[in-house]
Homo-oligomer: A and B are copies of this chain.
Amino acid sequence: MISNAAIDELAASLPGRVSTSPVDLTDYSRDQGPVVQTILPSAVIRAQSVEDVQALLGWATRHGVPVVSRGAGSGLSGGAHATTGSVILSLELMNRIVEINPVDETAVVEPGVINADLNAAVAEHGLMYAPDPASYRWSTIGGNVATNAGGLRCAKYGVTRDSVLALDVVLADGTLVSTGHRTFKGVAGYDLTALMTGSEGTLGVIVGITVRLRYLPRAVRTLAAFFDSFPAAAAGVLAIGRARVQPAILELLDGRTLEALDGAHGSDLRQRGGSLLLIRTDGFGAAAEAEAIRAALVGLGASVSDEGSEEADRLVDLRRHSRGDEVDDLYRVGEDVAVPKSQLVRYVAELEAMASRHDVRLKVVAHAGDGNLHPTFWVDRSEGERAQERLEEALDESVRCALDLGGTITGEHGVGQYKRRWLPWEQSPEILELQARVKQAFDPLGILNPGKAIVS
């Protein structure tokens, strides 16, 4: 553990930034992922500058103290959970938009900038920052980069990595480096920017981000298509693909998700169908794309919203926020696997069989355009540990099944702490070893977010 003298040294060098108050230690001890064991950090450091981060990491290197970096703490895999003897580095106060360049179509931000704030600022230039995780109203760009966050618009616009051009990174020993380039293209040296993106604070601390912006679409069309059943809606996803139309958003909601939305909002979605597809097209072709999609879905028997109806837009907003205030714990876990699109129907049928076999409850939403599913399993809290075990068994089985169908254990949330047990199911010992060697190359003392993201 860290000595009081070491904490005092840190507090003296970063006056006003270091807190050891019990409230802070508790509030910053975790993100929104499941907590298997609650551990409090030794201190919370709210950095206000790159120099603060450098000073902290210099101190951490001298004292051998693990550092867990975080943005808004909205992660869902425990990547920002405190670990034994660690301090938490919060980047939330480094929240300046440093530069918006509307001609180059780039922006430079500090890591604590909220995703939605960047989008609001660039919208007046006719631009958008494409990655839009469901948490976009409160999650930070730095956290989005650290987890290579996804979102609803990925199928058309790519994931966070595809919008990151350059990074300023403080290395484990406090050295500041810059990776990447300000141009859209650039292949000088190894792609350290991509390597850093999604590394969950285990290779360095991201303190500056240059992003590529996209054109804010002037035309947008949104369709809501109700189907009798989940398999019918999944067939709709494949029909849109067969029509070779690329929606910006393509979300699939099962009947139990519709019931949950009805319960929360007093709507009657579940009465209108057993499954819902929400489709948004954008750009100069938005209207023509929406018509092509409508034709394909009506042909399958779907009930598709009228053109000009505002309901579909409202439903997309509902979907974006359908996680609401639910925080995962040991009785309720939202999963994040991805499978090849062709396996969507089969995978959900397998999920339903598992839920029934293990007597757990299940609802499913999917970013269907890229095969990324968020099944949520839950059990009744009153049942206690036995129910937790059933939940764990169902989760393990659902992950194994996604892998068997050619999928991955995590489409967009990251491995963090919670999913490390599944990583060796997906990746070979040789790949795990390579990753450990990369980690060693960047962080020889192992002080950067140890026990996260990789297995070593």
Contacts and interface: CB of A to CB of B under 8 A. Distances in A.
Interface of A: 101, 103-106, 126-127, 147-148, 150, 154-155, 158-159, 161-162, 171, 175, 177-179, 181-192, 194-195, 197-199, 203, 214-216, 218, 238, 241-242, 244-246, 283-286, 288-289, 292, 338-342, 367, 369-372, 406-415, 419, 423, 426-428, 430-432, 434-435, 437-438, 440-442, 453-454
Given A161-B194, A246-B215, A428-B177, A414 B187 contact: yes
A104 B342 contact: yes
Nearest to A336: B187
**Copies, count:** 2
A86 B190 CA distance: 22
A434 B179 CA distance: 11
Max chain B Cβ within 10 angstroms of own Cβ: one of A154, A183, A289, A407: A183
Nearest to A285: B284
A434 B197 CA distance: 16
B183 A106 contact: no
Given A194-B191, A246-B215, A340-B106, A434 B177 contact: yes
A178 B428 contact: yes
Contacts of A419: 188
B187 A191 contact: no
Contacts of A410: 186-188
Contact of A371 (B183, B342, B371, B409): B183
A428 B176 CA distance: 10
Contacts of A103: 238, 241-242, 340-342
23 contacts: A104-B371, A158-B158, A179-B431, A181-B338, A181-B408, A182-B340, A183-B339, A184-B372, A186-B411, A187-B408, A187-B413, A187-B415, A189-B427, A189-B431, A190-B198, A190-B203, A190-B435, A190-B438, A192-B438, A215-B244, A215-B245, A245-B284, A438-B438
Given A370-B183, A410-B188, A454-B190, A105 B241 contact: yes
Given A215-B246, A241-B105, A284-B285, A187 B148 contact: yes
Contacts of A246: 214-215, 283
In the complex, the 6 A-B pairs of residues with the closest C-beta atoms, listed nearest first: A284-B285, A285-B285, A194-B194, A437-B441, A184-B370, A186-B408
A440 B444 CA distance: 14
Max chain B Cβ within 10 angstroms of own Cβ: one of A161, A189, A431: A189
A238 B105 CA distance: 11
Contacts of A415: 187-189
Contacts of A105: 241, 341
